[in-house]
Amino acid sequence: MKAEMPIEKLKKVVRTSPPKVQKPLILFIQIVHRLTSICYYLIACPRLITSIMLLRFIKVPEFFGTPIPRYYWRDHLLKNKSYIRGDALEIGTTSTVRYYGGNAINKADAIDVVHGPDVSIIGDLSDAWVITDESYDVFVNQFTMHVLRDDLSALYHSIRVLKPHGKLICNFPCVSGYFFQGLSYGDIQTYIYRWYTPAGVKEMLNELSVSPADYTMNVYGNLYGYIAYLFGITAEALPRRWLRNHDPGRPVLVCITVTKPENW
């Protein structure tokens, strides 16, 4: 005789029960099923649940702190500090190149779509023909590519304006807040159009005939940093060991340093 499955036995019990018992019995079964489903998801997603539970108890600075991507970006700038010298270009301000370049900087310019204290070049980086070829020794392009509609063209101009063997130090956010109402720069309205992956950045460089021998790439971030950034938790609130271990499967920021080829 074929043995009955537990679910069939349960159905048989419900069908053979008195009408007054069937309703509370069905309700009891539904509650057990719901609790079982919740337990399943808690077991199926242990890393996510554990991360969220741990992050809840971290003290978040209220008035100051370094966002997680900028903490990683600072590490990349320190690794490439020796390249920030000579004639330098930066986005929006010259504070970064002056801070990391110091006395090695001969001239510092900033490009932006609106006027600013340090802005000497008004223009869109994706159509930056206002800057002549081979004008700078280094270009620090930070936290800009994801708010440009034509990021490939912007990357092209970022390399074009460099002198032969000049350095492009650039980052590509893998995660960021999304401002659905847009970002206003004077009369110009822009949006966050995309986030990046290391493979996507490599493909962009390949399209511009930049070989792997001409650039280095650092991929920063892990699950803790990823979730912490989304929670608004700053780098100062996390243990350093949580930030130092980098997981290529959970990137927060992709940073590259491109050396402009001789005959590019």
Domain of residue 104, CATH code:
3.40.50.150
Inside any domain, residue 209: yes
What whole-number percentage of the chain has pLDDT above 70?
78
> CA-to-CA distance for 97 and 85, rounded, in angstroms?
8
Q: Look up residue 111 and give its two tokens.
A: 């490009």
In-domain check, residue 180: yes
Q: How many CB atoms lie under 10 A from the CB of residue 196?
A: 19
d(CA 133, CA 83): 19
Q: 38-59 as b/e, with b when 16 or more CB fall inside 10 Å?
A: eeeeeeeeeeeeebeeebeeee
206-262, pLDDT tens digit by residue?
Answer: 999 999 999 999 999 998 888 888 888 888 888 888 898 899 899 999 999 999 998
Q: How many domains does the chain have?
A: 1
Does residue 227 lie in a domain region? yes
- The backbone torsions φ and ψ at residue 172, rounded to the nearest 5 degrees and listed phi first, read -135, 110
* Average pLDDT rounded to a whole number, residues 135-144: 97
Q: Counting Cβ atoms within 10 Å, is residue 98 exposed (0-12), middle (13-18) or buried (19+)?
A: middle
Residue 119 lies in a domain: yes
Considering the domain boundaries, does residue 170 fall inside one? yes
Cβ proximity of 209 and 158 under 8 Å = no
Query: Which range of residues forms the domain containing residue 98?
Result: 68-259
- Residue 256 CA to residue 121 CA, distance in Å, equals 24
Is 45 within a domain? no
Indicate whether 56 belongs to any domain.
Answer: no
Cα separation of 257 and 216, whole Å?
Answer: 5
Identify whether the C-beta of residue 125 lies closer than 8 Å to the C-beta of residue 169: no
Residue 255 lies in a domain: yes
Over residues 165-194, the pLDDT tens digits come to 999 999 999 998 777 776 676 677 778 889
Whether residue 80 has pLDDT greater than 50:
yes
pTM: 0.76
pLDDT above 90 (res 63):
no
